[in-house]
Amino acid sequence: MKLLITNIGILAGIGHDKRCLRGAEMSQLYTLENAYLYVENGRVAAYGRSEALPKVEEDVLVVDAQGGAVLPSFCDSHTHIVYAGSREGEFVDKIRGLSYAEIAKRGGGILNSADRLHELSEDELYAQAMKRVDEVIRKGTGAIEIKSGYGLNLEDELKMLRVIRRIKETTPLKVVSNFLGAHAVGRAYAGRQSEYVDHIINDMLPAIAKENLADFIDVFCDEGFFTADETRRLLQAGAKYGLRGKIHGEELAVSGGVEVAVECNALSVDHLEAMDDHDIDLLKHSDTMPTALPGTSFFLNMPFAPGRKMIDAGLAMAIASDYNPGSTPSGDMKFAVSLACIKMRLMPAEAINAATINSACAMGLSEDYGSLAVGKVANFYITDPIPSIDFIPYAYTTPIIRRVFLRGEEYVGE
C-alpha cells in the first residue's frame, strides 16, 4: 500500500535514526513546515516540503492533513494494562491520607489486583485489556510494553502472558511482553519471600520460556518488595532463558535498583522518584535507559524523578505512562509529556523525544519505531492545526489528535 499525507502544517520527529538521544541531543526535535509524508508498504519512504512533492501516482492513497501537525506515535515502555477491574476504593484511601506502602500492607495494591485477576478467564481479561488498547491507540500510542505481575502464581502469570500474546497477534499496536512475577510476593508465599523467588526461578521461568511468552524479565526492587540481591539473582536467571532484564527501582526509597540494573546491563530502570546523584553517575557509564513515570508521581502525590538533572548530566531519559489500576489509571502519553514539562522541567522537545525515540529504545525498538526516519515503521498521528509543537504539552487536556495511522494504515478501531 502507498500512502501520501499532504498539506502538513508541521511535520515533527523526522530524521532521528540513532538508538537514543542523550543530554543536549534531547532538545533536537527536527521539524518541517508545509510538508508531505510518503509511506510505502507500511514504512516511511520519503518526506519533504510541499513544493518538492513529486507527481502523485494513481495507486497512491492521498490524505489531506488540513494543516495539522504530524508526529511519530508515542512509545509507552511501561504499562500494566492487563488487569481485572479498577481500584477506586484505594484512590479514596489515598485521599484520606494512606500511603502506597500502607495500602499494600493492608492487603491492597498489587495483591488486590492479583485476587481479582485470579477470578477471571483469559477471554474476560483479553476483552477488558482490548478496551484499554483501543483507548491508548486513539490517544496516540503506537508501541507499548505490557507487563505481567498481577498473577503471582504460575497459572495466573501464564494466563496474563497468554493474554498479552493474544494482544500482540490481534492489534496493529506494536506490543512487547515483560514477565514481572517479582511484582510482589504471592499470598501463598506470605512470609516466605526467598521461597517465592525460588518458585519464580525454578517453576515460572521454565514454563514461560517453554511457551515463548515473554521478551523481558522485570523485578520490583524497592523498600518492602524485593532486595537488590534477589533482583540480581532473578535477572541472572532470566538471562539464561534469553530474557533481558528491566527493573522497577528507586520509587519508594534508594533501593539499589539502579546499581543492579547497571551491573546486569538491564535495558531500562523505571520510576526513579527517589534516585540520588550516585545513581546518575552510575547511569552515565551504562546502556540502561532511565525511565520516568510522571503520571505515577502525579496520582500518588509523590516526588517526580529528577528529569532536568538527568538530562543536564548528559543522560538519555525515557517517559512512560505506567498505566495500571492502582497508581496510574491513565495511559495518556500526551498528559505524561505535559507533566514532564510542568513538573520535571523538561522542554517540550525533550519531553516528546523522551516519549518517542527514547521510550522506543527502552523496549529495544528504536531501530523501527520512535521517529519518522526513512525506513522506519509508519506509526504516526495527525493533529488539528496547532500553532507550534510546544502547544502539545501546553494544552494539557485539549484532545488534539484527529487521525491515527499504524503500520501505514488508518486506525478505525472496532
Q: What is the CATH number of the domain that holds 148?
A: 3.20.20.140
pLDDT on residue 266: 98
Verify that 84 and 8 share a domain, yes or no. no
Verify that 34 and 94 share a domain, yes or no. no
Verify that 48 and 98 share a domain, yes or no. no
Strand partners, 244: 216
Q: What is the mean pLDDT of residues 89-103?
A: 87
262 contacts 289 by C-beta, under 8 angstroms: no
Which has the higher per-residue pLDDT, 325 or 106? 325
Is 379 assigned a ligand-binding role in the annotation? no
pLDDT on residue 216: 98
Is 251 assigned a ligand-binding role in the annotation? yes
Residue 414 pLDDT exceeds 90: no
Verify that 348 and 406 share a domain, yes or no. no
Verify that 195 and 311 share a domain, yes or no. yes
Verify that 36 and 146 share a domain, yes or no. no
Verify that 114 and 14 share a domain, yes or no. no
How sure is the predictor about 177, in pLDDT bands with cuts at 50, 70 and 90?
very high
Which has the higher per-residue pLDDT, 54 or 191? 191
How sure is the predictor about 58, in pLDDT bands with cuts at 50, 70 and 90?
confident
pLDDT on residue 109: 87
Domain containing residue 52: 2-73+371-411
Distance CA 413, CA 28 (A): 33
Work out the mean pLDDT of the chain and round it to a whole number: 96
Is 322 assigned a ligand-binding role in the annotation? yes
Verify that 66 and 149 share a domain, yes or no. no
Verify that 332 and 239 share a domain, yes or no. yes
Is 80 assigned a ligand-binding role in the annotation? yes
Is 326 assigned a ligand-binding role in the annotation? yes
Verify that 138 and 199 share a domain, yes or no. yes
Contacting residues for 45 by C-beta, under 8 A, at least 6 apart:
38, 39, 374
Distance CA 289, CA 261 (A): 10
Is 271 assigned a ligand-binding role in the annotation? no
Q: What is the mean pLDDT of residues 274-280?
A: 97
Strand partners, 382: 70, 403
Chain mean position to CA 271? 12
Verify that 88 and 224 share a domain, yes or no. yes
The CATH number covering residue 21 comes to 2.30.40.10
Is 16 assigned a ligand-binding role in the annotation? no
Distance CA 251, CA 273 (A): 5
Number of domains in the chain: 2
Verify that 382 and 351 share a domain, yes or no. no
Is 150 assigned a ligand-binding role in the annotation? yes
Residue 399 pLDDT exceeds 80: yes
Pairing of strands 60-64, 74-79: unpaired
Is 278 assigned a ligand-binding role in the annotation? no
